[in-house]
């Protein structure tokens, strides 16, 4: 299902919302503000041990500082 993660810029609440139309604004379920930003689901992937994660290496845009 097209579930996207959003973060409210008003209260900082993170939530998931079923979005069928990107044009439709998503309101924060906590404060009701429509000032929300879509989060990249690719960055939310967590590696629980194992071999090297190619996706993490390729996702340069997700880099947080690096070094
Ligand atoms: Zn909010």
pLDDT band for position 30 (50/70/90)? very high
When comparing pLDDT for 2 and 38, which is higher?
A: 38
pLDDT in tens, 58-67: 554 555 555 5
Q: For the residues of 38-54, what is the DSSP string, one character each? A: EEPHHHH----SSS--H
pLDDT band for position 12 (50/70/90)? very high
State in Å: Cα 35 to ligand 1 middle. Answer: 8
Question: Positive or negative, the Cα torsion across 7, 10, 13, 16?
Answer: negative
Q: Check whether 34 has a pLDDT greater than 90.
A: yes
- What pLDDT is stored for residue 42 in this prediction? 53
State in Å: Cα 4 to ligand 1 middle. Answer: 16
Neighbours of ion ligand 1 (CB under 5 A): 8, 10-11, 13, 28, 30-31, 33
Nearest CA to 12 out of 36, 34, 45 is that of: 36
State in Å: Cα 20 to ligand 1 middle. Answer: 21
Mean pLDDT for 18-44 is 84
């Amino acid at each position: 299902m097209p579930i996207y993660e959003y973060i409210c810029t008003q209260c900082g609440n993170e939530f998931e919302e079923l979005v069928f139309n990107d044009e439709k604004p998503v309101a924060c379920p906590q404060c009701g503000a429509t000032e929300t930003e879509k989060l990249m689901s690719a960055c939310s992937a967590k590696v629980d041990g194992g071999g090297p994660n190619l996706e993490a290496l390729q996702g340069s845009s997700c880099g947080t500082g690096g070094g």
